[in-house]
Amino acid sequence: MILEEISNYKRTLRLYINGVGCIGAFTFAAVQLSTSYTQMFLLSMICGVYFGIVSFFLFKDGRYLWKGRGILAVLPTTLLFAIYSNPEFGVYWVYVGIVTLFLMLELIDAAVSSLVFTGAAFFLVSGHFETDVLFRIYSTVILVGAFSFCFSYLIDRLLDTLNATATHDPLTKALNRHTFHKSINAALEDHQRYQVIGVLFLFDLDHFKKINDEHGHITGDKVLRDVSKIVKNRIRETDQFFRYGGEEFAILLRHTPLQNAAFLADDIRARIEEYAFTDGIRVTISGGISEVDSSIGVNTWIERTDTALYEAKSSGRNNIKIHIPALENWSSEAIA
């Protein structure tokens, strides 16, 4: 919810900026036309059209056209031409250009483009002011650029922190349950629209309550963190790993055939069983696997996987079961 609000705020801010830019560019173009300044009129019109197009898509469906990078083709050119034509007054556009670039672009794009833009502007004004005036101009422009960069950097860091807090479990650093439901809904939609295959793997730690009772919750937390590391070291970057609740975890495997997912699940089971946990604790897991099916909903998909997990526990634990309509009973021993 927080991330969605932040995303909507950024989108609204960029809509307002582009809207104001569109009005301002067309107004400036009208002024230039009245003074018969044809070149500046055309450049201003191009800026106005660009801002208008970006505003239209932001307003229509929230899409930020080209991630705002189209501005690099119009705004710096227009402002540098204004500086070249009239350095004494055009130099003030440097401040506007730097702030606008940091507001409209992602941090790296804004930093690189503002450095190039500032360097070109410095070159254009260098021969038109006294040394002491140039020093003031250079100093204030550099300060504006530095403050803009620091502000954008801190905002990016804040967003990264909020994203990690909103989407990850603080103990295991796995994705959290809220993210799980969003991801599995997206996986089902991709399968229904584009026939993208996918497998859900649910597992939990056998007799984990006993570990907490005999060794304490601090040791139990360490076991959960170690299990998380084992899983993360085994899965691909494209796979999604979640803490589903308590000692229960989930892995969403997109673009993965059922057989491959079965071998992966059993390999994770074996790695956890063989791992040397703290205090000599032996940890095993029981798991269930189910393939995405366009004829069912998300809840049914989860229920199928959870049923397979329950069967794994009922059949002695430390094994994997798979739910297939035509073959209900499958265990990790069957692969060996």
Three-class DSSP category at 291? strand
| Sheet order of strands, 248-254 included | 240-245, 248-254, 198-205, 285-291, 320-323
For the annotated catalytic residues, the residue numbers are: 247
How far does the chain reach from its first CA to its final CA, in angstroms? 45
How many Å apart are CA 295 and CA 230, to the nearest integer? 34
Two tokens, residue 243? 């803490």
Which residues make beta-bridge pairs with 52? none
Task: List phi, psi (to 5°) of 232.
Answer: -60, -35
- DSSP 8-state secondary structure symbol assigned to residue 327: B
How many Å apart are CA 15 and CA 30, to the nearest integer? 23
Residue holding tokens 């629209």? 193
Closest CA to 22 of 100, 95, 98: 100
Residues 308, 321 contacting (CB under 8 angstroms): yes
List alpha helices for the chain, DSSP H: 2-34, 38-61, 75-85, 87-90, 93-104, 107-125, 131-167, 177-194, 208-215, 217-234, 258-274, 298-314
Residue holding tokens 């899409």? 63
